[in-house]
């Protein structure tokens, strides 16, 4: 049986877009879904009911309450919310059974904004996450979520990014697109599933109206990456209007 994993920033709790979000998720037939910006517990519960999935809720630290949740068709045998004071949001860890084999999954949402100061904050967050990952006794594990940072080999669509900033009335930071976080994961042996399956392709997950940046990721441990079969970003149909992020999915066999 394949294991299909999806990560999706649903924008401000989903608001009145829950039916569209559910459609996008259903189209990928995932076994497990990480949702970021799950601000409303009742919306999270509604999505879980609509999708027929088990809900694990991770309350976040930040004032906007950008919670992190997991939805799963597979049995969840353990869950822990790592709500360390350092994290802008939180890191939600679950362990699921995949064909009687335990797989550990961590989902997070790092601090936003493409500037040096926020990237340095994300570096500290990632260092804390790597400490959690090093403490993971299960070799089959993955880290997913909105990391709000750029892969060193990716080429952001700069004009699209600037257009998105103008729409929000924001100025472009200087320097743009610092790239300190992803190298920490790569140096620790984690595999960027999208790059592994789509080499030489930057890909874009946000904003949906501009296709500017890839900031949403699925990273697999080396033992889990040996089972990687496919990974892609869903950019068509309802995904264009369900959120300001496109979902990224990966399949393991």
Q: What per-residue confidence (pLDDT) applies to 172? A: 86
Helix (H) or strand (E) run with residue 125 in it: helix 116-134
Whole-model pTM: value is 0.97
What mean pLDDT do residues 169-187 have?
91
Instruction: Give residue-wise pLDDT tens across range 32-49.
Output: 999 999 998 999 999 999
Contact 44/18 with Cβ under 8 angstroms? Answer: no
Which of the residue ranges 46-50, 107-111, 112-116, 237-241 would you say has the lowest mean pLDDT? Answer: 112-116
DSSP class of residue 15 equals: G
- Average pLDDT (211-240) is 97
Q: Quick one: pLDDT at residue 66? A: 94
Domain boundaries, the chain: 3-252
Residue 177, pLDDT above cutoff 90: no
Where does residue 126 fall: left (phi above 0), alpha (psi -120 to 50 degrees), or beta otherwise? alpha
pLDDT, tens digit, 9 for 90 and up, residues 73-112 = 999 999 999 999 999 999 999 999 999 999 999 999 999 9
What pLDDT, on a 0 to 100 scale, did the predictor assign at position 100? 93
Asked whether the beta carbons of 104 and 3 are under 8 A apart, the reply is no
d(CA 192, CA 4): 16
Instruction: Please check the confidence at residue 31 and state whether its pLDDT lies above 90.
Output: yes
Phi, psi of 59 (to 5 degrees): -70, 140
pLDDT average, residue stretch 136-158: 96
DSSP labels, 166-234 = HHTT-PPPSS-----SHHHHHHTT-EEHHHHHSTT-----B-TTT--B--EEEEE-HHHHTTEEEEEE-
pLDDT at 30: 98
pLDDT band at 124 (very low <50, low <70, confident <90, very high): very high
The predicted pLDDT at position 135 comes to: 95
CATH class assigned to 3-252: alpha beta
On the question of pLDDT at 58 being above 80, the answer is yes
Give dist(CA 209, CA 161) in Å, integer. 10
Q: How many percent of the chain have pLDDT more than 70?
A: 100
Instruction: Summarize the confidence of residues 182-186 as an average pLDDT.
Output: 98
What are the distances in angstroms from CA 110 to CA 24, 68, 142? 23, 11, 16
Q: Is the pLDDT of residue 50 over 80?
A: yes
- Cα(196)–Cα(56) distance, integer angstroms: 29
**Cβ neighbour number for residue 248 with a 10 Å cutoff:** 28
Nearest to 92 by CA among 70, 119, 117, 66: 70
Res 63 pLDDT > 90:
no
139-168 burial string, b = 16+ CB within 10 Å, else e? ebbbbbbbbbbbbeebebbeebbbebbeee
């Amino acid at each position: 049986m394949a294991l299909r994993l999806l990560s999706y920033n649903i924008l401000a709790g989903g608001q009145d877009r829950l039916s569209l979000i559910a459609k996008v998720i259903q189209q990928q037939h995932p076994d497990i879904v990480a949702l970021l910006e799950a601000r409303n517990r009742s919306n999270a519960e509604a999505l879980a009911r609509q999708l027929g999935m088990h809900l694990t809720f991770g309350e976040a630290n930040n004032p906007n309450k950008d919670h992190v949740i997991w939805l799963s068709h597979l049995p969840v045998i353990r869950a822990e919310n790592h709500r360390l004071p350092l994290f802008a949001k939180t890191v939600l860890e679950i362990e699921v059974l995949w064909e009687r084999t335990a797989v550990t999954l961590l989902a997070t949402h790092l601090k936003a904004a493409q500037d040096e100061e926020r990237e340095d904050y994300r570096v500290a967050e990632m260092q804390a996450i790597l400490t959690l990952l090093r403490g993971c006794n299960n070799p089959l594990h993955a880290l997913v979520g909105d990391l709000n940072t750029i892969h060193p080999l990716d080429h952001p669509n700069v004009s699209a990014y600037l257009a998105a900033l103008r729409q929000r009335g924001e100025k472009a930071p200087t320097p743009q697109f610092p790239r300190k976080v992803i190298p920490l994961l790569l140096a620790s042996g984690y595999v960027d599933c999208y790059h592994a399956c789509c080499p030489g392709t930057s890909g874009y997950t946000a904003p949906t109206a501009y296709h500017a940046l890839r900031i949403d990721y699925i990273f697999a441990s080396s033992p889990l990456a040996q089972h990687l079969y496919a990974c892609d970003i869903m950019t068509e149909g309802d995904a264009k209007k369900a959120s300001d992020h496109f979902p990224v999915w990966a399949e393991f066999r």
